Amino acid sequence: MDFSIPGAESLQAGTVYGIGRNYVEHAKELNNPVPSSPLIFLKPRSSLVFGNGTVVLPSRSSDVHHEVELVLVIGKKAAHIQEEDSLSCVHSIAIGVDFTARDLQEKAKDKGHPWTIAKGFDTFAPLGKALPFTDSTDLQNLDLLLTINGEVRQSGSTRDMIFSCRRIISELSSMFTLYPGDLIYTGTPEGVSAVKSGDVVEAKLIGTDSTLRLDIRG
């Protein structure tokens, strides 16, 4: 697979970071406590789907959910970067969907196990076209939308994030060196629900051409 990021073809996708429970209402809808610091997990690079494509439902799960998210594309190496300087390493932004095998995640949570399997199946991290990040980009004022078969399921704003993009980048870089092409899925607003084979999922960053159209197949 070619891991060149659409819209940022000079970058090869690297580590895929995810932030869980970063919107209060999403934490509430799953009966989860609101975290006091960013809840970090990883998805394998093989979970990526660039642009419109097919999401394959794994036979191991009977309850796969969509989670629409703002994705940050890292453009330069960053380690132990201060929060006030953290946006200097952002190259571009995109719409993304973090698919989650909710039944497997719940089993893992009950046992205190990692979420890797629930989050990491092939095709579970679709990514739309990357858009250049500039000084005028207000990362905490972006609207996200996801529909299934034309019906709105998620409509939210990055204004409602618990941890800002600045905080997320700084926190990650305090533990892991970030490299060009690394991707950060920054969390999802409320409204997550199950998808089934035959569904058409569409996601977008409102007012931009970073969009996704995904066919769900069993």
Sequence-ordered list of residues with C-beta below 8 angstroms from that of 103, at least 6 positions apart, any chain: 61, 62, 63
Q: Give me the pLDDT at residue 15, please.
A: 98
3-state helix, strand, coil in the chain (%, to 5): 20, 40, 45
CATH code where residue 128 lies: 3.90.850.10
Residues in the chain, how many? Answer: 218
The residue written with tokens 């890292």 in the block is: 74
Q: Give me the pLDDT at residue 194, please.
A: 98
What is the count of structural domains for the chain?
1
pLDDT tens-digit profile, the chain (218 residues): 899 999 999 999 999 999 999 998 786 777 778 789 999 999 999 999 999 999 999 999 999 999 999 999 999 999 999 999 999 999 999 999 999 999 999 999 999 999 999 999 999 999 999 999 999 999 999 999 999 999 999 999 999 999 999 999 999 999 999 999 999 999 999 999 999 999 999 999 999 999 999 999 99
Question: 93 is in which domain, residue-wise?
Answer: 4-217
Given a contact cutoff of 8 angstroms between Cβ atoms, the answer to whether 200 and 213 are in contact is yes
